[in-house]
Amino acid sequence: MGPVTPRMWAAGTLAVLVAGLVVYAAVVVPWHRPPAPRADQIAALKEFPAGQLARARAFHEALRPAGYASMAIGLVGALLLGLTPLGARLVTLAGRPFGGHWIAQAVLGGLIVVLVVEVVTLPLAAWRHRVVVEYGISTQTWGAWAVDLVKSYAVGAVIGGLALLGFFAVTRAAPRWWWAFGAAGAALVVVLLSFVLPVVVEPIFNKFTPMADGPLRTELMQLAARDGVPVKDVLVADASRRTRAVNAYVSGFGPTRRIVVYDTMLTEATPDEVVSVAAHELGHAERGDVLTGTIIGALGAAAAVIALYLLGSLGWLLRWAGTDSMGDPRAIALLIALVTIAGLAGGPVQALVSRRIESRADAHALELTGDAATFEAMQRRLGTVNLSDPDPPAWEYVMSASHPSTVERIAAARAYARGER
């Protein structure tokens, strides 16, 4: 028997990571969801005004062509760049003004490859913006929308550029063992972003101000205290400058944790409904759902890096991409193509896990407040203002729904009111 090679170590480590990910998800994800009888769902659906239901469904019908076309074009673009030498040539051209230096290829080449796909799908993003404005969801002018788009690109460019720089620095420093250092680095980046994004990135897109002292703020802080979830403050986000949608969430870890309420919710919803939504979000914090997602994401990122290393043994794949190693910056387009495929394939599983976690948070809100009627009223409010389809098509629900449908949540509230758990 020959010596254990780095590739064998990588394969064994990948197997352990995947097994650990499966076991961890099996233990921490609430696979059993609270009852939401279909009979209650159908009854709730019949109670929606016909005009409101028709408008919500027309809104989603108008959005679907651009959404799915963007997904398809993004996939085709990623495959075209990653599974042909075209992407490698773009990376080479990006580095040429800098003498072909690997840093220029890694950072500028990666950004150009991503930008090509973004530019191709930009008209479809504009189409979606036109639809949400037409249906009264967005309050943004084209100028404000463009500014947010540029901000989004800039944030992505900084994070992506640093990630690529780190990745290819590791592949150059440890050509045989980069998979180990890269996996650890990818996991660490996921953890860091979980802490950094709420504090650093959120303020780029919204202004947050402390909620004024008053009965609602007091009730929200008391709710958090009763739930055993330390909260630093209650903030109001100026969401109305871009949307009429209503929402609230709990953001951050430990000393940075805060309850955030959209200013639109303060004008559209009753105080009791705001409390109901906050109770749901506190459920995520109380059960450590953000930490759970971070751990799953870190394990998945580490496994992905090792899988990319192992795929580097497929000579035909590298030849298609016009490179000879996964550690070569010219392989950037191939890396992006493989990540795109994995993301689309894993989408339904991610959606399923998310729905189970959201269902548990709904149950937590009902237990914490004991107010099924207000919970139901809030779900109707969310569906009405946000133009959600209360009972979306089954295929779309399975593919991408991150939350239970509106009628599912109403049915769960009615089951809770009857004492069903």
pLDDT over 70 (residue 364): yes
Strand partners, 261: 236, 248
Q: Which of 122, 120, 90 is nearest to 108 (CA)?
A: 90
Mean of the per-residue pLDDT values of the chain: 93
Mean pLDDT of 32-36: 89
Q: Give 79-121 as a DSSP string.
A: HHHHSSTHHHHHHHHHHGGGTT-HHHIIIIIHHHHHHHHHHHH
Mean pLDDT of 90-112: 95
- Phi and psi angles of residue 3, each rounded to the nearest 5 degrees, phi first: -65, 155
Q: Are 330 and 323 in contact (CB under 8 A)?
A: yes
> What is the pLDDT confidence band of residue 2, given thresholds at 50, 70 and 90?
low
Q: How far is CA 365 from the centre of its chain?
A: 22
pLDDT over 60 (residue 122): yes
> What is the pLDDT confidence band of residue 204, given thresholds at 50, 70 and 90?
confident
Mean pLDDT of 127-149: 95
CB neighbourhood size of 77 (10 A) = 22
Question: How far is the CA of 330 from the CAs of 36, 86, 324, in angstroms?
Answer: 51, 10, 9
- Gap between the Cα atoms of 296 and 44, Å rounded: 35
Q: What is the dihedral of CA 114, 141, 239, 120, to 10 degrees?
A: -10
Q: What is the dihedral of CA 261, 390, 394, 125, to 10 degrees?
A: -60
- Phi and psi angles of residue 350, each rounded to the nearest 5 degrees, phi first: -60, -40
Question: Helix, strand, coil shares of the chain as percentages rounded to 5?
Answer: 75, 5, 20
Q: What is the percentage of the chain residues whose pLDDT exceeds 70? A: 99
Farthest CA pair distance, the chain? 74
Mean pLDDT of 280-294: 91
Q: Give 163-218 as a DSSP string.
A: HHHHHHHHHHH-TTTHHHHHHHHHHHHHHHHHHHIIIIIHHHH--EEEPPSSHHHH
pLDDT over 90 (residue 46): yes
Strand partners, 233: 258
- The amino acid occupying position 34 is P
